[in-house]
Structure 1
Amino acid sequence: MPPHFSENQELLGDMETNKPYTTESRINSVDRPGKLDTTTSDAHHIAPSSSTAGFFQSPPQVLNQYEDDTALRRAMKLFLPHGVQEALKADLSAFGERVLTRQTLGWVLEAERNLPYVKSWDTWGKRRDELITSDGWKNLQRMGIEAGIVAIPYENSFQEFSRIYWCTKYILWCGSSAWVNCPSLIVDGVASLFREHLSDDTLGDERQVLQDAYTRLVSRDGEKAWTSGQWMTERQGGSDVRMTETVATYAPNCQSNEEEDAHGNPLGPWRLDGFKWFSSATDANMAILLARTQKGISLFYAPMRRALKEKDAMGFGTASNGVYIQRLKNKLGTKALPTAELEIKGMRGWLVGEEGRGTKEIATVLNVARLHNAATAVGLWGRGLGIVRAFARVRLVGRRPLYERAGFMRNLARMHTEYRANVLFTFFVSGLLGCAEQEKIAKMAGEQGKGVDKMGKLPNVTDTPMAVWLLRIFTPLLKGHCAKTGITGLQECMECLGGIGYLENDDMQFNIARLYRDANIVPIWEGTTDMMADDAILRVLYGKNRTEVMRALSKWVTEVLEQNAREGSDIKTVASWWTDFKQTLIDLPKSDIERHARDIMSRLVDIVQGLLLIIDAATDGNDVAQLVKECWFADKCEGMSLKPSSRRSSTNLQASDMRIVFRQAKLDPLGAKI
């Protein structure tokens, strides 16, 4: 044995071939330009590697997610008519390519390198509070706006299917957006809120102001479109706004009320003063914010800039509408997103909705935002899995491709199975929102009653009221579950690449570490996991609308169970979960509900996702969908049992895992299909 080999290496040998470990086998076991050094008497001595010589890993090729991600295509097939799928194919495929281009990923890198900062004072000591963001951030914002990341559901080109279209494109976008999708999230919620109010015939002087803002919020024109801030959080609490200290004073005779915003609209009769602890869209054109009036917490709209009657000495024609940036937050992730502490002094704005009912008004925004959060978690995880699939296609371990490692593929198949359940759930809730929105869209267009009963392809959802109640209970469930599993999923993806996965490298195509750190905000943003459990269980299932929600939920679950009664042990499993769930709601003392809210929420998520996987597999008998369902139920019911699963119908588990991940049982070492 050559002296540079340890005794342990010799005894261990080559675990892949069960042959002794030799220098020659080491050279030949991987695809690298190792050469024997014949200039010495030791024929087994290899030339040392250097910075330019030796093994270099062939770079993976991350594929277009629209083409490569089976979960997305299956969800589209389940929830969209064939004609709509065909109509969307070109746009989604092109966008899936564009988000991976060198230009787009270069903008992501620039946004990450050139972080936002505040220029507080000008040369002469006058306070400006000018927020500076990178060109990469601005270009990504424009790209998302022009791609319709907000506009799609408001254009409503595919009616009740428009939200499914939006969901697909949004998921493709998240991994390359550098979090410009945060302002988009807020804009979507605010536009939905304004649409409701613009349908009100009793709207007063604020109609033109809200209409102008709404038109800009839903525009695809990069020059015209607006983004919006959403300011709720103050120092004394996160999403708990009961102690709000920002104060709104009705002052219609104030001289500044005669002034205009930067676009020629009156500034509004309310004066706002206070301090906001987090603002995640500080570079926005407008904001909605909560403030306290004599009648309680109320919601207000305010532009960020006001017009000056004459340009100032520096040539500026506008000034801040009473908003001052104290500092930007230093965060774990979402680095390119400017999140600030804001002091508000004399900000002028308009009351939105009824005074004293601000929390009810902003709930519309939050529900849309929570769907965005879930889709963001799915989008980030989906990009991570795409990177892992690309890596597995080209990485060799010894003489074997990485995808032939049974343990690696078992874990990767589990991840894809859980991811697929999340995708189905996200599409289902998006479809519910798309159906529920049709009545509001018709009302705004003056066509009351049109489209009310159009439920798209949502399985076992019969009418708009049912969709609305299911949407109310499923939205917090979806956000709470997808946010947490997205983080754990991305951690696994990072680990799959070993040390490379942990690197904050400049190649944004493979930087899973960035996706992972960014994903950690999702369970916090717009309500923590505990808040989602409290909302779903305490406020909904034990709240004033309990009867209506449980009626809709029971009808949906029962009908799906009955229609799929032939699906064997899996449908029986869900039926038993449902029975236990209902009994828990009856038996559990009200004093213990909060303590067990997360567990109850998790069981209801299992019921919904299990049924969606059963529906998907039963729809067309697709063998991969069947394998995904079997794998998901095996993990839920048998966990990490060392015994072979009785639920896995395939005798070749390696081939089964390959089909779940790659859609086929065999690949060549370079990843080509066989």
Structure 2
Amino acid sequence: METGIEYGEFDEGRHVNYWELDRTLQRELRRVYDDDEFEWAEPRLAEFGELIGHTVADNADYVDDHGPELETYDKYGDVHNAVRYPAEQLENDELAYGAGIVADAFEAPPGRDEPMPISHFLGMLQLLCYADAGFGCPVAMTAGSALVLERFDDGDLEPYYRALTSRDYDDLIEGAMFLTEEQGGSDVGANETTARYDDEADCWRLTGEKWFCSNIDAEGTLALARTEDAPSGTDGLSMFLVPHGDPDEGVLTKGDRREFEGPPPGDALNDQLYRRLKDKLGTTAVPTGEVEFDETKAALVGEEEAGFRQMTEMLNLERLANAAASCGLMGRALLESKVQAATREAFGTTIDEFPLMREDLVDMTVDYEAATAYVHEVGRLFSARERARRSDATTEDEETYRLLRLLIPIAKLRTGRMAVDTASYAMEIQGGNGYVDDFVTNRLLRDAQVLPIWEGTENVLSLDVVRALEREEAHEPFTGTVERRLEAVTHPALADAAETVAAEYEDLTGALLALAGEDSEYAQLSAKRLAHYLFEVFTAALLLEEAQADLEDGDGRTAMVARRFVTNELETPDARGIADGDRFVLEAFEPIVHHAPVDPETVAEAVPADD
């Protein structure tokens, strides 16, 4: 059995191996991978965790101070849309893509006969975002673009798909999704960009403006536009691939761009204008700006007027990736906090000896465990659905689809908020240093603040949850899943927590039934509270199921995590718990925070309250 982690041995949360120090991520990926997949992946994840903890983490701090710069025009006044990146960002790009962060989940990696599950991409992305959540954005959009072309392209865009999934950096292109328009925002149906077919040039041409374009100079961007005579709203939108380079010259890859002396000349590029880069709070690594299409060449993806449905498939993966990024940022904030608490001395002892700090670190750890467990359980379901589709399954697993429609928006909604809260408190644990640019918690909080915004705000996602319940009746697979998990929990150490979750589950199902009888206005008013309630009950049942399995395998630590999550999220103690004598966090500090093993025989008595 593993021993605990001594965080006092480290100076800070860098120049370490993030995979080796993240036993939570190890547990979750071991759970969701097949045995042979994990055996293949584990040494590669360890190598990737070492890479991210050293080179990529150092580069990320430099990039935060010296981010990309846009030169819209060359010295002659011609448009050349040149984004200049620091060498450190280009090195990070080459290292991450070369490690297979996108490719492995789409094309069989060396040593395997088939691609890895999407879960592998999410796990690598979580590790990457220990160092830079901003860089996680273009990586996620590259995977999302590949998913769309794999699923909907009729073969005409095969060269772009191959470039999006390349392991060779010279053959690689990155993807992007230009969705937002100034007048529409989250109301995608209000998009005004138009598309017309140019018979002479044998291509589509887009005209319009896109307002919040992350990874602005991606070589393969997906955008929505309305063709002539198409209906209004989302039903009339079609999806197009807009290349950075002139599509008549073929796919402009990273290698092609490097061969030019300086930026590619204007005549090698597509007709569009990168107007400016946004001066953002954080996520400096990804250039975000405004783009004008003016008869810009584009290729139709799939069928006309199916764009919104196709974009939704990409958005599902993007939201799940956003949640994995949130987990990665939380993991780094937690690591920095544990190291600081174990090494910072005050009043003659390290600050992790003080009861209030112990409570904070326990609850930060429990939050991280909950978020990571939830995200990778949803990733497991997503991976299963994609594998079934790739195997040409004649019918889609309707239950999995309906469950994903509910769980994916909740994943992004909850973890984005948790990332902000965790990063904020990690800054506080550092004291004044945490507020200073020289220390990483400053950047973590700035980067975290966009995570509740990207891919849909909390309000937008909450309404999506209500739609999933109303249109897909997603409560049916949800309730079945929770009930099966609770039925599997039999260990005495989990009995009280399981009873609490069962009672809350009954209340939740009652709330769902009551809400079904209310009008639309009240349903919307309740949507956010409902989304968080669904997360808490689902995650509690999931953690209890994992705790049951770990107890059977000889370790009671996950039981402590599950019990604390239930206490924090689903119990309402009298007088806020002040008078109940509960010393759980003091007794459970070493197991939960330092990952020390717990004997299942003693876990039930390990954290008694004083009567």
Shorter-chain TM-score range:
0.7 to 0.9
Look up the match of 2:590. Answer: 658
CA displacement at 1:316 relative to structure 2: 3.6
Look up the match of 2:468. Answer: 540
Helix, strand or coil at the partner of 1:641: helix
Q: What letter matches 1:661 in structure 2?
A: V
Q: Distance in 2 between matches of 1:522 and 1:542?
A: 27
Q: In the alignment, does 2:513 pair up with 1:578?
A: no
Helix, strand or coil at the partner of 1:223: helix
Look up the match of 2:5. Answer: none
Q: Distance in 1 between matches of 2:451 and 2:86?
A: 24
Q: In the alignment, does 2:481 pair up with 1:481?
A: no
Flag the 1:58–1:529 CA change in 2: closer, same or farther, 3 A. Answer: closer
Are 2:163 and 2:172, in contact at CA under 8 Å, matched by a contact in 1?
yes
Q: Distance in 1 between matches of 2:91 and 2:264?
A: 25
- Kindly report structure 1 stretches of 4+ aligned residues shifted beyond 4 Å: 156-161
Look up the match of 2:538. Answer: 608
Cα displacement string for residues 331-366 of structure 1 (whole angstroms, at most 9, x for unaligned residues)? 111123211111111111122222223211110110
Q: In the alignment, does 2:482 pair up with 1:557?
A: yes
Summarize the alignment of residues 248-267 of structure 1 with structure 2, pairs less than 5 Å apart.
248-253=195-200, 257=201
Helix, strand or coil at the partner of 2:117: helix
Q: Distance in 2 between matches of 1:366 and 1:61?
A: 32
Look up the match of 2:137. Answer: 182
Look up the match of 1:66. Answer: 19
Matched length: 559
Flag the 1:659–1:288 CA change in 2: closer, same or farther, 3 A. Answer: same
Summarize the alignment of residues 472-551 of structure 1 with structure 2, pairs less than 5 Å apart.
472-505=405-438, 510-537=439-466, 539-543=467-471, 545-546=472-473, 549-551=474-476
Q: What letter matches 1:356 in structure 2?
A: E
Q: Distance in 2 between matches of 1:530 and 1:73?
A: 32
Flag the 1:624–1:504 CA change in 2: closer, same or farther, 3 A. Answer: same
Q: In the alignment, does 2:526 pair up with 1:596?
A: yes
CA displacement at 1:92 relative to structure 2: 1.3
Look up the match of 2:333. Answer: 384
Are 1:160 and 1:434, in contact at CA under 8 Å, matched by a contact in 2?
no
Pick the structure with greater CA Rg: 1
Q: Distance in 2 between matches of 1:625 and 1:560?
A: 15
Q: Distance in 2 between matches of 1:414 and 1:396?
A: 21
Helix, strand or coil at the partner of 2:189: coil
Helix, strand or coil at the partner of 1:275: strand
Look up the match of 1:228. Answer: 175
Q: In the alignment, does 2:292 pair up with 1:343?
A: yes
Q: What letter matches 1:298 in structure 2?
A: S
Flag the 1:644–1:625 CA change in 2: closer, same or farther, 3 A. Answer: farther
Higher mean displacement: 364-373 or 62-71: 62-71
Q: Distance in 1 between matches of 2:117 and 2:477?
A: 23
Are 1:159 and 1:434, in contact at CA under 8 Å, matched by a contact in 2?
no
TM-score by length of 2: 0.86
Structure 1: gaps of 5 or more residues? 1-56, 258-267, 453-462, 667-674
CA displacement at 1:246 relative to structure 2: 0.7
Flag the 1:65–1:106 CA change in 2: closer, same or farther, 3 A. Answer: closer
Q: What letter matches 2:48 in structure 1?
A: F
Q: Match for 1:305 among 245, 250, 265?
A: 245
Are 2:206 and 2:294, in contact at CA under 8 Å, matched by a contact in 1?
yes
Are 2:194 and 2:208, in contact at CA under 8 Å, matched by a contact in 1?
yes
Look up the match of 1:672. Answer: none
Higher mean displacement: 562-571 or 467-476: 562-571
Summarize the alignment of residues 414-493 of structure 1 with structure 2, pairs less than 5 Å apart.
414-443=363-392, 448=393, 464-493=397-426
Helix, strand or coil at the partner of 1:568: helix
Cα displacement string for residues 628-654 of structure 1 (whole angstroms, at most 9, x for unaligned residues)? 1121112121368243668x7xx6742
Q: Distance in 2 between matches of 1:581 and 1:428?
A: 21
Q: Distance in 2 between matches of 1:429 and 1:125?
A: 50
Cα displacement string for residues 286-328 of structure 1 (whole angstroms, at most 9, x for unaligned residues)? 211111122222111121111789x99x994843311101111
CA displacement at 1:160 relative to structure 2: 8.8
CA displacement at 1:430 relative to structure 2: 0.8
Summarize the alignment of residues 619-658 of structure 1 with structure 2, pairs less than 5 Å apart.
619-621=549-551, 622-636=555-569, 637-638=571-572, 641-643=576-578, 653-658=585-590
CA displacement at 1:147 relative to structure 2: 1.4
Are 1:111 and 1:178, in contact at CA under 8 Å, matched by a contact in 2?
no
Q: In the alignment, does 2:108 pair up with 1:167?
A: no
Q: What letter matches 1:523 in structure 2?
A: P
Q: Match for 1:289 among 219, 223, 232?
A: 223
Flag the 1:126–1:316 CA change in 2: closer, same or farther, 3 A. Answer: closer
Relative to total residues, which structure has the larger helix share, 1 or 2? 2
Q: Distance in 2 between matches of 1:125 and 1:77?
A: 55
Are 2:72 and 2:276, in contact at CA under 8 Å, matched by a contact in 1?
no
Cα displacement string for residues 369-394 of structure 1 (whole angstroms, at most 9, x for unaligned residues)? 00000000000010111111122222
Helix, strand or coil at the partner of 1:120: strand
Flag the 1:61–1:520 CA change in 2: closer, same or farther, 3 A. Answer: closer
CA displacement at 1:167 relative to structure 2: 2.3
Q: Distance in 1 between matches of 2:219 and 2:36?
A: 38
Q: Match for 1:144 among 67, 81, 96?
A: 96
Q: Percent identity?
A: 27
CA displacement at 1:552 relative to structure 2: 1.7
CA displacement at 1:569 relative to structure 2: 2.2
Are 2:221 and 2:242, in contact at CA under 8 Å, matched by a contact in 1?
yes
Flag the 1:317–1:227 CA change in 2: closer, same or farther, 3 A. Answer: same
Are 1:219 and 1:225, in contact at CA under 8 Å, matched by a contact in 2?
yes
Q: Distance in 1 between matches of 2:115 and 2:95?
A: 25
Flag the 1:623–1:159 CA change in 2: closer, same or farther, 3 A. Answer: farther
Q: Distance in 1 between matches of 2:277 and 2:399?
A: 43
Q: What letter matches 1:598 in structure 2?
A: K
Q: What letter matches 1:513 in structure 2?
A: N
Flag the 1:532–1:557 CA change in 2: closer, same or farther, 3 A. Answer: same
Give the aligned CA root-mean-square deviation in angstroms: 2.6
Q: Distance in 1 between matches of 2:510 and 2:247?
A: 61
Flag the 1:318–1:176 CA change in 2: closer, same or farther, 3 A. Answer: farther
Are 2:80 and 2:264, in contact at CA under 8 Å, matched by a contact in 1?
no
Higher mean displacement: 466-475 or 560-569: 560-569
Q: Match for 1:374 among 310, 323, 339?
A: 323
Flag the 1:644–1:490 CA change in 2: closer, same or farther, 3 A. Answer: farther
Look up the match of 2:343. Answer: 394
Are 2:18 and 2:53, in contact at CA under 8 Å, matched by a contact in 1?
no
CA displacement at 1:558 relative to structure 2: 1.9
Are 2:206 and 2:295, in contact at CA under 8 Å, matched by a contact in 1?
yes
Q: Distance in 1 between matches of 2:584 and 2:283?
A: 42
CA displacement at 1:248 relative to structure 2: 0.6
Q: Distance in 2 between matches of 1:317 and 1:501?
A: 44
Flag the 1:652–1:229 CA change in 2: closer, same or farther, 3 A. Answer: closer
CA displacement at 1:231 relative to structure 2: 0.9
Higher mean displacement: 468-477 or 377-386: 468-477
Q: Distance in 1 between matches of 2:556 and 2:223?
A: 50
Q: What letter matches 2:484 in structure 1?
A: E
CA displacement at 1:492 relative to structure 2: 0.9
Helix, strand or coil at the partner of 2:208: strand
CA displacement at 1:586 relative to structure 2: 2.2
Are 1:231 and 1:290, in contact at CA under 8 Å, matched by a contact in 2?
yes
Q: What letter matches 1:76 in structure 2?
A: L
Are 1:382 and 1:419, in contact at CA under 8 Å, matched by a contact in 2?
yes
Look up the match of 1:353. Answer: 302
Higher mean displacement: 487-496 or 72-81: 72-81
Are 1:112 and 1:178, in contact at CA under 8 Å, matched by a contact in 2?
no
Summarize the alignment of residues 397-412 of structure 1 with structure 2, pairs less than 5 Å apart.
397-412=346-361
Structure 2: gaps of 5 or more residues? 1-8, 231-235, 250-259, 599-611
Q: Distance in 2 between matches of 1:468 and 1:340?
A: 34
Q: Distance in 1 between matches of 2:289 and 2:513?
A: 45
Are 1:291 and 1:299, in contact at CA under 8 Å, matched by a contact in 2?
yes
Q: What letter matches 2:216 in structure 1?
A: T
Cα displacement string for residues 428-474 of structure 1 (whole angstroms, at most 9, x for unaligned residues)? 0111111001122223xxxx56xx9xxxxxxxxxx933322221210
